[in-house]
Amino acid sequence: MMKHLKFLSVILVLLVSCISGIFINDKVYSRESEYKGEEFINVTVYERINPAIVLVEAQLKDGLSSGTGCIINKSGIILTSSHVVNNASYIEITTSKGEIYPADILPTDGQNKDLAILKIKPNHPLPTIKLGDSSLVKVGQKVLAIGNPFGFNGTLTTGIVSRIDYERNKIQTDAAINPGSSGGPILNASGEVIGISQSIYNPDNNKSNIGIGFAVPANEAKKVVNNYI
């Protein structure tokens, strides 16, 4: 009888542990207790999306151009900013795992929107991002940006939607966007891509971020990538 009670007690403890936490290497971690509120969103969105973000490096006539890309198809289709790869003689992609592949530019009319599609040939399926509905974006909502600013790969910054420029069809944000972040995702709290980082405002010709960045809305990107998803 005592053996049965001990066995039932162990089962009960395991069930409670499963409900309140996560098993990793026989230890129980409660993510809800370890990360709260905004921090929990930041951590979980980053861990889910960053594997689908790549470094884009392009050899141009006058030097090297560097930016960020989003994997939109597991076969190796990547969305980035066209100004990063325009007139490149060679393009190289580095994944979040450090895998390096040469890339080709696929035909698209996205240059008018500062968007380009690249193709690599990986030896395994790749993780992908999901494009959200940018028509639902509201000023004041939380956003997260992932990019490779100044060569610091896989950098996460956070902020809000500061303004929606309906005339120019741009989303403005105070999330830090710097050189090297172009082509990277602007994400909502659910991890959906609502915009593609494009540019920053520098009234004094300083290359650093002053809290005014712009992104191409995801719905514009959908028009470019539809044939490749």
* pTM for the full predicted model: 0.82
User: Could you tell me the fold of the domain covering 134-220?
Assistant: Thrombin, subunit H (2.40.10)
Bridge partner list, 158: 144
**DSSP state letter for 107:** P
Of these residues, 66, 81, 181, 182, which one is catalytic? 182
Of these residues, 114, 174, 181, 197, which one is catalytic? 114
Statement: residue 175 has pLDDT above 70: yes
Could you tell me if 95 and 78 are in contact, meaning their C-beta atoms sit under 8 angstroms apart?
no
Residue 168 and residue 174: Cα distance in Å, rounded?
18
DSSP 171-206: EEE-S---TT-TTPEEE-TTS-EEEEEEEE--TT--
**pLDDT tens profile 59-115:** 998 899 999 999 999 999 999 999 999 999 999 999 999 999 999 999 887 667 899
Bridge partner list, 143: 159
Q: Where are the domains of the chain?
A: 134-220
Known catalytic residue at 83: yes
Could you tell me if 113 and 220 are in contact, meaning their C-beta atoms sit under 8 angstroms apart?
yes
Could you tell me if 145 and 156 are in contact, meaning their C-beta atoms sit under 8 angstroms apart?
yes
* Percent of the residues in the chain that have a pLDDT greater than 90, as a whole number: 68
Known catalytic residue at 182: yes
Known catalytic residue at 4: no
Element (H, E) at 65: strand 63-73
- Confidence grade of residue 209 (pLDDT, cut at 50, 70, 90): low
**DSSP state letter for 133:** -
DSSP 3-state percent helix, strand, coil across the chain (nearest 5): 30, 35, 35
Element (H, E) at 77: strand 77-80
CA-based radius of gyration for the chain:
21
* Average confidence (pLDDT) over 50-64: 95
